[in-house]
Amino acid sequence: MKNIEDKRKNLFQIAASQQGHFTAKQALVCGYSHRTQYYHKEKGHWAEIDRGVFRLTNYPVSPDEDLVRWSLWSRNREDVPQAVISHETALSVHELGDVMPAKTHLTVPPAFRKKPSGGCVLHKKILSPEDIEKRDGFMVTIPLRTIVDVAEEGMSNEYIEQALRDAFSKGILVSAHIIETQMTLKAKEKLRIILEQIKKNPML
């Protein structure tokens, strides 16, 4: 009985760190054989939300669950997630601006080969560790990296301006950091214009 309780406790600890989600490999490490995993799925204790990705059915619902699912979907053969929430979706996570992305934006390594079934947009790029922030069950680009990314992708000035105003008001960004960051010349000019606009009308 103790062994069963230990397995359940270990699996719950992993799931709790991922908003109720876990992979088949993580369950295997906790002592749940493939046969036992099938049993829990059939009994309704676990919901299979993607191939090899489960969710404890009695775990509280979270608004970020879809981001956790995409993160676990992107895992490599070592079961390590490769995707980082980015661009418009990262703006939403940081609550910057009024963007409501229809699809989840993910940045993945250039060699990433998985094809999403739908509902997400992949951006291939190598991110530095300093550009990434860890959340419960997923990683997201920091506000500065996010602003630069959407500027490079050509997001409208209006949306970027609102995101910047929110970032400034929350004290999580300063204009000097943006100006000093490496980016394409087109994005740098776009952000220069937006920053000038904010400087002229700081109370909007």
Clarify whether residues 15 and 96 are in a common domain.
no
State whether 95 and 77 are in the same domain: yes
The answer on 102 and 194 residing in a single domain is yes
Give residue 19's domain range. Answer: 2-56
Tally of domains in the chain: 2
- The last residue of one of the domains, among 30, 56, 82, is 56
Q: Are residues 76 and 172 in the same domain?
A: yes
Query: For residue 201, what pLDDT is reported?
Result: 86
Burial of 153 (0-12, 13-18, 19+ CB in 10 A): middle
Same domain, 16 and 83: no
Side-chain-side CA neighbours of residue 75 (13 Å): 19
Residues 72 and 157 in one domain: yes
At residue 119, the pLDDT reads 86
> Residue 148 CA to chain centroid, in angstroms?
17
Which among 26, 56, 86 is the end of a domain? 56
> Rounded CA gap, 152 and 154, in Å?
5
Per-residue pLDDT of the chain (204 residues; tens, 9 = 90+): 448 889 999 999 999 999 999 999 999 999 999 999 999 999 999 999 988 999 999 999 999 999 999 999 999 999 999 999 999 999 999 999 998 888 999 999 999 999 987 889 999 999 999 999 999 999 999 999 999 999 999 999 999 999 999 999 999 998 888 988 999 999 999 999 999 999 988 876
Quick one: 106 and 188 in the same domain? Answer: yes
- For residues 31 and 93, membership in a common domain is answered with no
Residues 195 and 126 placed together within one structural domain of the fold = yes
Domain boundary among 14, 35, 56: 56
Do 85 and 44 share a structural domain? no
pTM of the model: 0.91
Using CA atoms, how far apart are residues 131 and 26, in angstroms rounded to an integer?
A: 27
pLDDT of residue 204: 61
Q: What pLDDT, on the 0 to 100 scale, is given for residue 1?
A: 45
Indicate if 87 and 44 belong to the same structural domain. no
Residues 90 and 146 in one domain: yes
The H-assigned helical ranges of the chain are: 2-16, 24-29, 34-43, 65-73, 87-93, 143-152, 157-170, 175-180, 185-200
